[in-house]
Amino acid sequence: MHLTSSVRALVAIVAITGVTGTAATTASASSSKSHAKHAKAAKALKKKSKLRADLVARGLNLDFSDDGFDVTASVANTGKGLAKRSDVVIALSQDTTLDENDEVLDEYSLGSIAAGVTRSFETDVEMPDDDDFDGTAYLLVCADGNQEVKESSESNNCVSQEVDTTASDDSGASSDDSGDDDSADDDSDSGAVVLTDGQ
């Protein structure tokens, strides 16, 4: 069968159109698949950010002594994600915010804490020998004090208690006292810091 040139041209056009249409459909499907993949990844990332931990220090209690105190407190994970191992930082500060100007007295290591779980701890802390905090100060207990855990909030890690740090002074003894006065046998604690409840 012989086809006219017009018919042959029409057949060629139909064939080309079919190939082009198939390529366009394939490209569209590939683009849709890629878009769906990126949307899924973004959704997973958003979900992961919502599952972050949130460590909060609570229930601070201090049992005072002449040279230091026992610290009892708890750390709660109020977030939705697991909190990995972190350190509770105990510091003496002139305000209620933990920063580089504070005197770190101790660090207590906590293991991982699941969401909704509260972990209590107790530790002994000694006062520093210097008198930088002579007078009113704040004892800070800060969960994740070294910022090792990615949290949904970093502004609620610390609990504080106002304390009165007074440097004792035993140098007021009269120089006219006789050598057999018992004041001459005072120990070497002159100038030691005495910690008392500031409330």
Mean local confidence (pLDDT), 60-73: 89
Q: Would 134 be classed as within a structural domain?
A: yes
Average pLDDT in the chain: 76
Same structural domain, 97 and 132: yes
- 42 by Cβ neighbours in 10 Å (0-12 / 13-18 / 19+) ranks as exposed
Of 80, 90, 58, nearest to 153 by C-alpha is 80
What tens digit of pLDDT does each residue of 11-40 get? 555 455 555 555 555 666 666 777 777 776
Indicate the pTM of the whole model: 0.62
Q: Would 183 be classed as within a structural domain?
A: no
Domain boundary pick from 33, 50, 67: 50
What tens digit of pLDDT does each residue of 159-188 get? 999 988 775 444 444 334 444 544 444 443
What tens digit of pLDDT does each residue of 73-82 get? 999 999 999 9
Same structural domain, 62 and 17: no
Same structural domain, 36 and 113: no
CB 123 within 8 A of CB 70: yes
Same structural domain, 91 and 15: no
Q: Strand 135-142 relative to strand 158-167: parallel, antiparallel, unpaired?
A: antiparallel
CA–CA gap between residue 81 and residue 58 (Å, rounded): 19
Whether the pLDDT of residue 48 is over 50: the answer is: yes
Question: Helices in 2-131 by DSSP H: which ranges?
Answer: 5-50
Q: Would 175 be classed as within a structural domain?
A: no
Q: Which domain holds residue 70?
A: 55-170+190-197
